[in-house]
Copies of this chain bind each other. A is one copy, B any other.
Amino acid sequence: MMRGFDSIESMNGDELLVKRKKGSKKFVIGAAVIGVMFFLVGMLIGFFGHESEHAPSPTTTKPEVLDPTQLIIQNVDVNFLQTLLKNFSSKARIAGTESGSELANMIRDMWASSGLDNVHLSTYKVLLSFPNQSDPNKVELVNKTTGKIVFTSNSFEPGLTTEDQNKSFISYNAFSPARTVLGSIVYVNYGTVEDFQYLTQNLSIDLSKKIVIARYGIISASKKVYNAEQYNASAVVLYSDPADVNRDSERQSSGSAYPNSWWLPKGGIQRDTVNYDYGDPDTPGYPSTNYNLPIDPSKRALTKIPCQPVSYIDALILLSNLSGSVSPEHWHGALPIEYRIGPGYENNSEIEVKVTVNNYLDKRVIKNVIGMIKGSEEPDRYIILGSHHDAWVYGTVDPQSGNAALSQAVEIFGHLLAKGFRPRRTVMFCSWDASELGFIGSTEWVEENLQLISERSVAYLNVHSLVEGNFSLKAVSSPLLQDAMYTVAHQVPSPTKNFSTLYDLWLAQSKLYSSNEKEPSVSYSLWSGSDHEVFYQRAGVSCADLSFNFDFRKYPITTYPLHHSAYDNYFSYEHFNDPGLNYLANAPLLPFKVTRFSAALENFITDLVHNYKEIWGQNNVQYDQLISAAKNFTEATICFEKTLLSEKELNKKPLKLRMYNDQIMQAERAFLIQQGLPSKPFSKNIVFTQSNSEPSNEKSFFPGISTTMYNIKNGKSQWDQLKHQIYLATLCLQSATTQLSLPGTCN
């Protein structure tokens, strides 16, 4: 299946390089991202060592002369990537279905034939959620007196090209309970904490037993439902407003959307999962092995109110002619209506909304594919690369652009291995299942291997929606990895003509947003978005998630328009996106910069002081301890970096090297707190996480402190909670400080 490896095996190294260099340059953007990822992997795994027992024949180029970085970069094969992408997204790859499982097997077979040391399926039987095919979910308008149905929403997305024709799948929100609810409707904008506060406090609207309609964006669907449940709403209807998914909204009925552009057409429907925490809802904290005992169903972290997504052409009908006041200006989307709030309809109090959800839960087997290359020097230190293979429908961007890149990586690494090159550290490749339903595959795997992952993992690098747009690199990362990304971005050629390196492009685009930027922008929002969450929040492993994004100034939207719709398929990818390829390798001292980490933390604390001036200093809260702990941490990081030996010296002292690296790894883990966030016990990083009820406009680092301060500012008396959160943050900073200060050093 796919392109065989025979043709590669029969060539020698030089032929291979030449042939690959000739590969199509069509997909230049993906190449840059993959370039960063592979350079980074190279820095982390360490130079490939050549194994004498597998020495190449004398006729091939001397391996010692080959630059491993170039070796990898130049082996990227654009045609191969294209074939992978097309095959991966040729069917809907929904977790727990036959064609989803088929893809896992396909990847397993392909990886196994690539020559990795080990490839296996890691399977779990987990709780999944499916729509009822014979009795689809719907949102209706009903005359409550006559019982007459005056409108019914569409659950299917219409076929618009041969790629999606006759293959449509029912739209739903996974893990919404099956229920039918009747009530009057209220528009809640994006459904953020602030939106709900505005409705209930400023407008004094009672939301209990109301059906709320919210537009996708800003925060996750789960959080919208969580907020609605807090205010006792009876159901949630979600839709993608044209303001967020079709900016040519004046012409929304015309043909300007997909299949003619990347915009979501009027019948498109975005799916999403609405579970409140990640992983199998039946086994929080533990792996779903076949001998585990599920928790009581009433204790699952799932919503109790039904939720259903609709297209914006259907939302137009639901939102038209609402009664009540006109919503604030910034609540207005791009539908040709007034965006009133409700509840109910103007001059038509007979009409109510009826939400019918017929989803069902089912235990199904999911399959992660795990591949491994054993490290030559430090086999007990892991660099983990991951993507996922399950999709909402075809998922060409999300996740197959990332998943294809991962398989390309496996093939190249396997080939280099066969040629006798072995990385210093162990490399693991993971293609996760059931990621779209709450990162279930990755979570169960990390839960099963928690101690090992926590103890041994140097870094987890994730890709999923690798090519969302063609503007600039988007890096979500731990501060520890930030400088390493800059280093490698300097080495990767720019995918566009105006810049020499990717770094230049990245920096220039960052400056467009904030002219004072001196460095490319990196996001620290490691609390959600993809499979790195469990690695970061549970095991404390340094993480990065890479992609190419679109220009947010041009398109002020929070995700690419076809996201999670049936129209994210190979047709739209081929026409409106742009994959491609480049590459890496390096030395055994981890490229983590601890001063970057401490500087970031000091900044967050400065922001907190600034944002909550009126709270700071009241009520005997021990802020001083926190600030002084942060300063001590900064000093420790400076001292630590000063005392690091040069890499050359270190190569002579493998033990010293290992000790340095251990200190850095543990400094990252020092920020995990066992109990996690109050309402999210598995969100354990005290700095970089987010609660379900986080204010969306706040900088949300140190969420335990910032959310509590926000609540105090809004009149709640949570001083003890604030003291406890300050105490925990102080303890974590102290712990990180001691990790970097060996006894007797720097004091």
- The interface of chain A, by Cβ under 8 A from chain B, is 117-118, 285-287, 289, 291-293, 372, 374, 377-380, 426, 448-452, 455, 622, 625, 654-655, 657-659, 662-663, 666, 669-670, 674, 720, 723-724, 726-728, 730-731, 734-735, 738-739, 742-745
What's the minimum C-beta distance from A216 to chain B, rounded to whole angstroms? 36
The chain B residue sitting closest to A373, CB to CB, is B743
Q: State the CA gap A727–B426 with chains docked (Å).
A: 29
Which residues of the partner chain B approach A452 to less than 8 Å between Cβ atoms? 735, 738-739
Q: State the CA gap A735–B374 with chains docked (Å).
A: 19
Check B744–A655 contact: CB distance below 8 A: no
In the assembled complex, 23 residue pairs joining A and B whose CB atoms fall closer than 8 Å, in A order, are: A285-B674, A286-B727, A286-B728, A289-B727, A291-B723, A291-B727, A291-B730, A292-B727, A293-B720, A293-B724, A293-B727, A372-B744, A380-B659, A380-B662, A448-B731, A449-B735, A451-B666, A451-B669, A451-B670, A451-B739, A654-B655, A655-B655, A658-B658
- From B622, B663, B670, B728, give the contact of A380 (CB < 8 A): B663
Q: State the CA gap A117–B380 with chains docked (Å).
A: 33
Beyond A291-B723, A426-B743, 8 additional contacts (C-beta under 8 Å) are A118-B744, A292-B727, A372-B744, A374-B744, A379-B745, A449-B735, A451-B735, A674-B674
Check A742–B293 contact: CB distance below 8 A: no
Which residues of the partner chain B approach A625 to less than 8 Å between Cβ atoms? 289, 291
Q: State the CA gap A745–B118 with chains docked (Å).
A: 12
What's the minimum C-beta distance from A484 to chain B, rounded to whole angstroms? 23
The chain B residue sitting closest to A660, CB to CB, is B380
Which residues of the partner chain B approach A738 to less than 8 Å between Cβ atoms? 449, 451-452
Check B372–A743 contact: CB distance below 8 A: yes
Q: How many copies does the complex hold?
A: 2
Which residues of the partner chain B approach A292 to less than 8 Å between Cβ atoms? 727
Q: State the CA gap A289–B734 with chains docked (Å).
A: 12
Interface centre among A118, A293, A654, A726, by most chain B C-beta atoms within 10 angstroms, is A293
Check A743–B374 contact: CB distance below 8 A: yes
Q: State the CA gap A455–B657 with chains docked (Å).
A: 17
Check A117–B743 contact: CB distance below 8 A: yes
Q: State the CA gap A659–B659 with chains docked (Å).
A: 11
Q: State the CA gap A378–B726 with chains docked (Å).
A: 34
Q: State the CA gap A450–B450 with chains docked (Å).
A: 18
Check B735–A450 contact: CB distance below 8 A: yes
Q: State the CA gap A550–B659 with chains docked (Å).
A: 45
Check B744–A379 contact: CB distance below 8 A: yes
What's the minimum C-beta distance from A670 to chain B, rounded to whole angstroms? 6
The chain B residue sitting closest to A450, CB to CB, is B735
Which residues of the partner chain B approach A742 to less than 8 Å between Cβ atoms? 374, 379-380
Which residues of the partner chain B approach A289 to less than 8 Å between Cβ atoms? 625, 727, 731
Interface centre among A451, A625, A726, by most chain B C-beta atoms within 10 angstroms, is A451
Q: State the CA gap A452–B286 with chains docked (Å).
A: 25
Q: State the CA gap A455–B456 with chains docked (Å).
A: 12
* Nearest 4 A/B pairs, CB to CB: A291-B622, A654-B655, A374-B744, A291-B625
Known: A663-B380, A735-B452. A118 touches B655 (CB 8 A): no
What's the minimum C-beta distance from A429 to chain B, rounded to whole angstroms? 13
Which residues of the partner chain B approach A426 to less than 8 Å between Cβ atoms? 743
Q: State the CA gap A742–B375 with chains docked (Å).
A: 10
Q: State the CA gap A28–B622 with chains docked (Å).
A: 53
Check A455–B117 contact: CB distance below 8 A: no
Q: State the CA gap A305–B743 with chains docked (Å).
A: 46
Which residues of the partner chain B approach A451 to less than 8 Å between Cβ atoms? 666, 669-670, 735, 738-739
- From B287, B654, B720, B743, give the contact of A379 (CB < 8 A): B743
Which residues of the partner chain B approach A659 to less than 8 Å between Cβ atoms? 378-380
The chain B residue sitting closest to A665, CB to CB, is B455
Which residues of the partner chain B approach A658 to less than 8 Å between Cβ atoms? 655, 658
Which residues of the partner chain B approach A663 to less than 8 Å between Cβ atoms? 380
Which residues of the partner chain B approach A724 to less than 8 Å between Cβ atoms? 293
What's the minimum C-beta distance from A55 to chain B, rounded to whole angstroms? 20
